[in-house]
C-alpha cells in the first residue's frame, strides 16, 4: 500500500510540474513572433543571373566514332552546334571548351585511354579549323571509364565510342 501511495504522490507532483512547464514556459515561447531573415536582393539576382547564364549555355555536343577509329563524319548540324560554342566562347572570354574522348570496353584500359585521347585531339583539331583557339580547348580522355550506355549490345558499345564537347566555366 505504501508503494501505491508513493507512486500516486509522485504522479501528482509530476502532473503539476509538467502543467507548469507547459503553461508558463512552452506556450509563451510558442506565441513569440518568429523572426524571418530576408535575403538581400543582390544575392537573389546573382543566383538568377547564374541560372540564366547556365540556361543559355550550349548543350553538350556528342560526336560518335566507328570501332577503333579516330575519324568522324561532320554534318551541318554538328557545324551549327560548333558555331554556337564559338559564339559562346567569344562572348564569355573566361570560359573554356572541354573535349573529352570516350571508348567502349573492347581492348585494354591503357589502349582505350590512348584511343580516347586521340579522338579528343582529332575533334580539337577540327574545332581549331572552325576558328576556335587551341588555347581555349582542354582535351582529355576518360577511356572506357564513363559509359553512357551498356556494353552488352552492339548499339550500346557504339554509343560509348564518343567525344563530348562542353563548356567549362572559370
Model confidence pLDDT, tens digit, residues 36-45: 777 665 555 6
* Beta carbons within 8 Å of 143's beta carbon, 6+ residues apart: 101, 102, 103, 109, 112, 113, 115, 116
Position 103 in a domain: yes
Average confidence (pLDDT) over 147-163: 85
Q: What integer pLDDT is reported at residue 40 of this predicted model?
A: 66
Q: What is the pLDDT of residue 10?
A: 93
In a domain, 101, yes or no: yes
Give the chain's domain count: 1
| In a domain? residue 46 | no
Of the CA atoms within 13 Å of residue 58, those in its CB half-sphere come to: 25
Give the residue with greater pLDDT, 121 vs 21.
Answer: 121
Q: Is residue 42 part of a domain?
A: no
H helix or E strand, kind and range, residue 164: strand 162-168
- Structure confidence at residue 85 (pLDDT): 87
Range of the domain at 73: 51-168
What is the C-alpha separation between 103 and 32, in angstroms, rounded? 62
Query: Average pLDDT, whole number, for the chain?
Result: 84
Tell me what pLDDT residue 157 has: 84
The CATH number of the domain holding residue 124 is 3.30.1330.60
| Beta-sheet strand order (sheet of 61-64) | 61-64, 162-168, 96-102, 137-143
In a domain, 12, yes or no: no
Query: Is the residue at 146 inside a domain?
Result: yes
Amino acid at each position: 500500500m505504501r508503494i501505491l501511495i508513493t507512486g500516486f504522490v509522485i504522479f501528482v507532483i509530476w502532473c503539476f510540474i509538467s502543467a507548469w512547464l507547459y503553461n508558463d514556459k512552452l506556450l509563451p515561447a510558442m506565441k513569440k513572433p518568429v523572426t524571418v531573415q530576408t535575403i538581400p536582393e543582390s544575392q537573389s539576382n546573382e543566383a538568377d543571373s547564374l541560372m540564366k547564364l547556365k540556361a543559355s549555355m550550349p548543350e553538350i555536343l556528342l560526336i560518335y566514332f566507328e570501332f577503333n577509329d579516330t575519324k568522324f563524319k561532320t554534318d551541318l548540324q554538328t557545324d551549327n552546334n560548333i558555331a554556337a560554342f564559338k559564339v559562346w566562347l567569344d562572348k564569355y572570354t573566361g570560359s573554356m571548351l572541354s573535349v573529352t574522348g570516350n571508348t567502349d570496353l573492347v581492348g585494354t584500359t591503357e589502349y582505350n585511354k590512348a584511343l580516347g585521347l586521340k579522338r579528343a585531339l582529332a575533334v580539337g583539331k577540327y574545332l581549331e579549323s572552325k576558328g576556335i583557339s587551341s588555347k581555349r580547348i582542354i582535351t582529355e580522355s576518360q577511356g572506357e571509364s564513363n559509359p553512357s550506355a551498356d556494353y552488352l549490345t552492339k548499339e550500346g558499345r557504339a554509343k560509348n565510342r564518343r567525344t563530348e564537347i562542353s563548356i567549362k566555366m572559370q
